Structure 1
């Protein structure tokens, strides 16, 4: 049997050395190396869309691959493409790294410098495992596959700017257009998604925090299906339990949601921590809510600078949404755009709280009057962001109208990873502003 092998190596010299050795293996069919994690995910997604049999049996991941770190990349491949055997190529063959690689889903580890015997043994073992998994998958096992949906995070520059209300209405707009939609509450200590939609559910995102491999069935058990059709992944009822949700678990959860739903909206609240920082990094589109007043705009600029310092998101990659907008205010969207360096959404949300008060107090935001100017503005924002299905002769399903293309799938996996200690280290040095 021929074994198809896909090397993932960023360094040109290392790529040549690995390819040369792979070509000497019996019955091996090495493909041209891919140079980064983005190219790997795109390649596997394209092949998986055709057929599971088109996927390579073995993927070799070099330790210095980027921008996603090697172990995170292995975990992503293992989750989304379980029929592929992944082997890590590394100069550190310590038991600790071996254990971490196995926990991430690797099927083997090859030390550097490469030896023919060790490489052949690991590739053969991974290929045999891959063939067995494909035989099992052919019997109807449930798996994630394909390129996945679009992820949008909604954050507030400060408290009270309408973050949760906007996130809920964006999710409702996407679902109403026929998109399968999930709404996740990552405001871990003070999440109000359940209150806005009058939901009582004992499971929360914490139930997924310690699970190594989130299967579709495990995800389904943690998600509450609202009567509108939206899948809700709620914040814990006890705020202190939010500390159990780590950066690593959020990356797994977001990946699992992306592979199950067309649209994933994540309410990140107003407080920054490692968990929602990971979600913002992984998002296709990041929204930052503000109001047109001096205090909120200063908070917006402060948040944008914080994200840039921590390498979470650049200003030009952030979309600022102006809530409670009036034509008479001195601070207009154009000024906010200049001050923050972000792109301000064309769809500003008007200041008409009276339209909202009854449904907010009742916890039935889904019942907001279709004639509401607030609802029309937020649903218009959903269209601007490409979260709704295209109408005939209208906009594309994924992407923004008006000549501003959305981030494509190559961009979505170009994730900068400051590591779980980056925020903590800067906080310890007093660099994170309150």
Structure 2
């Protein structure tokens, strides 16, 4: 049994400690000398029983008991009083205490009160644990994105992950909450104008209902439900921790997934979201300033008792393969879990979404595949690998354009066109008995010419296919040459640091996209060579190359 003592009288404390030492299974985990210290210690050391002296200040002891009962409902509170009168006991019990201990102490009385309080605390913890488990099984999941600093892409990733989840699960309700109270970028990114915000819910947080919450929700045309930050910065003071807890409790009942943009600055609202979230993701970039800012954020959260670093997930955004600071170094600088999926620098891919104020305007299928991979790393429901956003406009991509024609398709198209031309000519040849006789020989000449054209198409088709295959091989070889150069550079950097060929080969594979990762790494002196197999290479027996190699020099950094 863990006991916290709230007392500023050293003599009474000494007497109490001597008696508690004689009780089996008790441990004094701290002594607080003021009411504020009691609340602070209780939040950090999780006691089972708190013993308060009636003269503990500066707050009245009854108010301290009520605060403990409100914030820590499973903690049993006992009050020490010099006069244990009926009025004293009634006041303490009305405030929420489990009993009053008289001073000077009687061992039997103290032992009985401590035992009863400990049994009550254990029982309450079991009840709360069962209630939390039952509520968790039927409530929506809160996924919080917070930035290591401003400009790392927190809002963009939060919105795109939410849209990707909604696309994969159209029957689910997804809500995006903008708690970046200073900037509020969600409304700007989606071009939404709102008359109400989360500040309006905070004003009436003591009398919330599902109707009130739904009235404050803005439904975007993409299907997302939005709870936006206030437009007037003066209203941010209303959004307190006490207001956010009932708001998120109702959001869990109304939505299957709540994605929160927590912003990039440490604030009370951000700290509350980190406490309430089922999963917290810290978005950072692979550079010194961002990683340093992330470390400062984590230290601040731990100092405030908000969360532990090991409970966080880290997502590395805007990864540039040419950067001196590798994305793999982030994992070595934090004890948090770094997601396997990293987001590359994608300015061109995201530019349409920012210009049109619509994330669905992103036309890169690879981007949405990456968002699906991020969702899987975050243990959200698995979605289909290839898809486009709901109602998305995949202009100029393989997602919406027809698949490239095969040789059989080309032959069928030629035959269809030829049959159409034949039918048209036959109709013109048989236009009627009154047609000019000179037109019939011309029709027969066209028939003979059509037969010659069909024969020419059949003869030229293999040559056309051979030319197309050669052009395709030139493109693939060029891409392989570029990819092997990038892989060789990555392997050289890794080998210069670690001196391990296997690590260099693994880094080379990570730096190449799927389809070009069939490669091998060899080291000779100060040179690292990558031999990469050309994907979909033509037949070897007619001279098509099967692999390429690239060599890069390295400078030892060990």
What TM-score, normalized to structure 1? 0.58
| Deviation, structure 1 residue 146 | 5.7
For residues 365-380 of structure 1, the aligned pairs below 5 Å read 365-371=359-365, 373-380=366-373
Equivalent residue for 2:143?
152
* Aligned counterpart in structure 2 of residue 209 of structure 1, from 202, 213, 232: 202
Change in Cα spacing, 1:69 to 1:150, as seen in structure 2 (3 Å) is farther
Q: Is the 8 A contact 2:142 2:277 kept in 1?
A: yes
- For residue 344 of structure 2, give the secondary structure of its aligned residue in structure 1: coil
Distance 1:11 1:148 in 2: 32
1:293-336 CA-to-partner distances (Å, cap 9, x unmatched) read 11111111111222122221211111111111133323233311
| Deviation, structure 1 residue 250 | 1.4
* Aligned counterpart in structure 2 of residue 195 of structure 1, from 188, 192, 207: 188
Q: Is the 8 A contact 1:247 1:274 kept in 2?
A: yes
Bigger relative contact order, structure 1 or 2 (CA pairs below 8 A, ≥6 apart): 1
Query: 1 or 2, which has the higher helix percentage?
Result: 2
| Deviation, structure 1 residue 340 | 2.2
Q: Is the 8 A contact 2:68 2:75 kept in 1?
A: no
Q: 2:308 matched to 1:299?
A: no
For residues 412-423 of structure 1, the aligned pairs below 5 Å read none
Distance 1:364 1:180 in 2: 19
Distance 1:96 1:370 in 2: 65
Q: Mind listing any 5+ residue stretches in structure 1 that lack a counterpart? A: 1-9, 13-61, 75-86, 102-108, 115-143, 393-434
Q: Mind listing any 5+ residue stretches in structure 2 that lack a counterpart? A: 4-47, 51-66, 80-88, 102-134, 386-558
Distance 2:276 2:220 in 1: 25
Distance 1:324 1:352 in 2: 7
Equivalent residue for 2:246?
252
| Deviation, structure 1 residue 289 | 0.9
Q: Is the 8 A contact 1:89 1:112 kept in 2?
A: no
| Deviation, structure 1 residue 191 | 0.7
Change in Cα spacing, 1:11 to 1:312, as seen in structure 2 (3 Å) is closer
- For residue 340 of structure 1, give the secondary structure of its aligned residue in structure 2: coil
For residues 243-322 of structure 1, the aligned pairs below 5 Å read 243-322=237-316
Distance 1:244 1:174 in 2: 31
Distance 1:303 1:279 in 2: 14
Distance 2:153 2:229 in 1: 17
| Deviation, structure 1 residue 355 | 1.2
* Aligned counterpart in structure 2 of residue 236 of structure 1, from 230, 236, 240: 230
1:191-241 CA-to-partner distances (Å, cap 9, x unmatched) read 111111121111100011122042211111111122222221100011221
Equivalent residue for 1:219?
213
CA RMSD of aligned residues (A): 3.5
What TM-score, normalized to structure 2? 0.46
* Higher alpha-carbon Rg: 2
Equivalent residue for 2:70?
71
- For residue 288 of structure 1, give the secondary structure of its aligned residue in structure 2: strand
| Deviation, structure 1 residue 185 | 0.4
Q: Is the 8 A contact 1:161 1:289 kept in 2?
A: yes
Distance 1:266 1:310 in 2: 20
| 4+ long deviations beyond 6 Å | 92-98
Equivalent residue for 1:426?
none
1:40-77 CA-to-partner distances (Å, cap 9, x unmatched) read xxxxxxxxxxxxxxxxxxxxxx986xxx9642577xxx
* Aligned counterpart in structure 2 of residue 345 of structure 1, from 339, 343, 348: 339
Q: Is the 8 A contact 1:89 1:110 kept in 2?
A: yes
Distance 2:72 2:246 in 1: 11
Equivalent residue for 2:157?
166
Change in Cα spacing, 1:111 to 1:313, as seen in structure 2 (3 Å) is closer
Report how many aligned residue pairs link the two structures.
285
Equivalent residue for 1:402?
none
